[in-house]
Structure 1
């Protein structure tokens, strides 16, 4: 289909203006463009409407944030009331206590909470808290896993076959030009689901490691389920050596009423949250064991870890988050689980009946399609070949042409307003893609 059908004229005009004020025409690198992004006019429920008047079923949800979809009425009503009272104060408000109490009462091992403004800040302060508690400086993290935009969390985020090193000893690779060598030296890189590697690499640096930073199901790493023996190995080595386990659930808290760690048997010392807990507004949170969280305690003098923030725990984010989370009850999660299973099963059937080199991963309300026959076990196995990457770009384009936003090479997510008919529509569009791109799929299979 011609480009004009993919991007409307008003979006093209907006992008031309944006290029005059932003370095590449956008304000964040994660914006999909083909080659021009479409500009959003509004969202309602599970749909987005662009400035050219077109409607799209939204499987992005602002990078999995909008678990209730767009303009969720309880959030809109709560925010309207709060805006009439004020948007931010230097003093605390009761709304922060209510949201913290909900999280502490729901998420295992979250005894105390500290609010910040983003998932990046949550991870940054979790790393700092682990250092303050242990007196150690190094961390370990997973190759290819995304944890926000702080230096240590970005190590080996975009490792490639050209620089990721030996499979038994992954190298610490820089994410951007000029990343300090000292940062690379402070990070031990692990492969997801590599049990032997966890035992060996964590043991080698045990006395210098403050924490293992672990996403229970890394989105950028492939949205792959953790092996129980991998989780057990992390817990065992960390526990024996006084290394804290940080579970990054900024994205994956949406996997269940109690989060992803509880789903997979991980028992973290610290847990980072964001996205869904803000009801669509900027937010982040660090929670964890009471003794570890005491590093933030300033009641008896300077804390081991000072943490502030002009907009941390602002009443708008607290109010929106509280409204959203109160409506994420067991019934809401059961609905998301059912729809997610329908989607993944339907996509899987479309793949198997056509014998094409694709597979689907994910859990609960998340899924990701991979250009390979077998489900990968880690980031390296999930890394696409050049031809496969082009196929996935075509997949996102085909979905957009048929009225669905499918994130390119990232986790897709469903929201509570979606229905079984929405799931069946997604499956039908995916099947249509397979039928119309058979030649391209055959070429990928032949190159294997």
Structure 2
């Protein structure tokens, strides 16, 4: 892999990105904001990629990178995974999409229901956002109640009710034990804010009091077992047990957002944490790199979508839902993931976290690491955060994080804008060692500057 030289000036830590800059200028003329994904928006412009193979990405300027982001955890097999490419080519010759279902949809549903012990049925969508949205709509339809509850800082896609308190700040987040419900975007209806209850993550006593006060109006509690914006901190087993017992006792639907955490084990995050949700929303890795989303669960909850006897409680359609390309890609990607693969990714993830932690200690760098399994996140603080408020980055920290991400790009490593990293099956300890070396050099340069 070609190495990228870094200047001592922190404003010049990014690699040569002339072609990316030119594409961004072209894009701004015809695409609002220059590109269509907020998550990859960067100042002064994002990197435009040309191709990817295995663990590597190549940008339009010819720079090569180790990819520790894998399209925000979606590519568990890395780039251009040959079995998926072959399966897609096979399907391509037969058709991209049809105005009717295919056997592939049934085959994939059978595969996923076979993996997650408590799934009876599944419905396919096109994104994690859709999956969470439909799970919430099902919960409201089944219970006849309007409200939902979520964690402060929890990200669950772009659906108004679940965006509440996604990025609250010290200026508006209120009490730690009773967080304010803050709108995410301009123009959000006051009724949306009023119908979303915000919980303090992993705070059992405070959450119990909030839930008790809303139990008769709550349709659902939406959880994430390893929420990224909350700091990639796992949910405490005692807290999870409380939520499971409370929701079951009061007829509230417990929805597990596994869009990312389906990576946590062969049977998904819910099985790794030893519980059963009522509905599960998932996406990312199950698509093998193509757009996908799904809701799964026991029949008594999935019946909200049942159209066999007429109009369902929750009509769910979509021109490309269950399309054969995504089904073919997803089937192959998931068939290629064995329990041994997940164990190896677990071990490699632990190696990465311990290597980073030891390096920070040895070098006297005030950084920490969180995460489990194949996902982890670097924090610009010596003590690992425990919740959203501790993981929250003030403007100065955000700027420092941006410079760290730039410095890593300059050393040929791609991570998320919040310094989240994830592994793919082609990775080895050599790739992790290379990443740790790059983090050390980038952090040392940043601290010196």
1-structure distance, mates of 2:286, 2:16: 32
1-structure distance, mates of 2:123, 2:430: 40
1-structure distance, mates of 2:177, 2:14: 47
2-structure distance, mates of 1:386, 1:351: 23
**2:55 equivalent to 1:67:** no
1:420 alignment counterpart: 429
2-structure distance, mates of 1:157, 1:245: 19
1-structure distance, mates of 2:284, 2:359: 31
Cα displacement (A) at 1:262: 1.6
CA contact (8 A) 1:66 1:280 kept: yes
Cα displacement (A) at 1:408: 1.4
Secondary structure at the aligned position of 1:437 is classed as helix
2-structure distance, mates of 1:282, 1:16: 27
CA contact (8 A) 1:371 1:389 kept: no
2-structure distance, mates of 1:108, 1:7: 49
Deviation larger for 260-269 or 336-345: 260-269
Show CA shifts across 1:4-28 (max 9, x none).
Answer: 9524211111111111111221112
CA contact (8 A) 1:7 1:36 kept: no
Secondary structure at the aligned position of 2:311 is classed as coil
**1:261-410 to 2 correspondence within 5 Å?**
261-409=270-418
**1:115-154 to 2 correspondence within 5 Å?**
115-154=124-163
1:234 alignment counterpart: 243
Cα displacement (A) at 1:90: 1.4
Going from structure 1 to structure 2, the CA distance change for 1:413 and 1:325 (only over 3 Å counts) comes to same
RMSD between aligned residues: 1.3
1:21 alignment counterpart: 30
CA contact (8 A) 2:259 2:282 kept: yes
Among 169, 189, 193, the alignment partner of 2:198 is 189
Gaps of 5+ in 1: 441-448
2-structure distance, mates of 1:141, 1:79: 37
Number of residue pairs matched?
440
Gaps of 5+ in 2: 1-6
2:92 alignment counterpart: 83
**2:104 equivalent to 1:95:** yes
Cα displacement (A) at 1:438: 3.2
**2:442 equivalent to 1:433:** yes
1:446 alignment counterpart: none
2-structure distance, mates of 1:157, 1:149: 10
1-structure distance, mates of 2:241, 2:198: 18
Structure 1 length normalisation: TM-score?
0.96
CA contact (8 A) 2:68 2:414 kept: yes
2-structure distance, mates of 1:8, 1:241: 56
CA contact (8 A) 1:217 1:223 kept: yes
1-structure distance, mates of 2:38, 2:124: 25
Cα displacement (A) at 1:390: 2.3
1:444 alignment counterpart: none
**2:49 equivalent to 1:49:** no
Structure 2 length normalisation: TM-score?
0.95
Deviation larger for 263-272 or 56-65: 263-272
1-structure distance, mates of 2:32, 2:229: 25
1:247 alignment counterpart: 256
Going from structure 1 to structure 2, the CA distance change for 1:269 and 1:136 (only over 3 Å counts) comes to same
Secondary structure at the aligned position of 1:115 is classed as strand
Secondary structure at the aligned position of 1:69 is classed as coil
Secondary structure at the aligned position of 1:168 is classed as coil
Cα displacement (A) at 1:410: 5.1
Show CA shifts across 1:138-174 (max 9, x none).
Answer: 1000111110001011011011111111111111101
Show CA shifts across 1:173-208 (max 9, x none).
Answer: 010011100000110000110111221111111010
Runs of 4+ in 1 over 6 A off after TM superposition: none
Among 14, 38, 44, the alignment partner of 2:47 is 38
1-structure distance, mates of 2:389, 2:48: 34
Secondary structure at the aligned position of 2:93 is classed as helix
CA contact (8 A) 2:14 2:406 kept: no
2-structure distance, mates of 1:245, 1:411: 27
**1:159-198 to 2 correspondence within 5 Å?**
159-198=168-207
Show CA shifts across 1:362-395 (max 9, x none).
Answer: 1111010111121211101111233322221121
Going from structure 1 to structure 2, the CA distance change for 1:41 and 1:256 (only over 3 Å counts) comes to same
CA contact (8 A) 1:203 1:237 kept: no
1:443 alignment counterpart: none
Going from structure 1 to structure 2, the CA distance change for 1:336 and 1:32 (only over 3 Å counts) comes to farther
CA contact (8 A) 2:401 2:419 kept: no
1-structure distance, mates of 2:177, 2:413: 40
Going from structure 1 to structure 2, the CA distance change for 1:136 and 1:410 (only over 3 Å counts) comes to farther
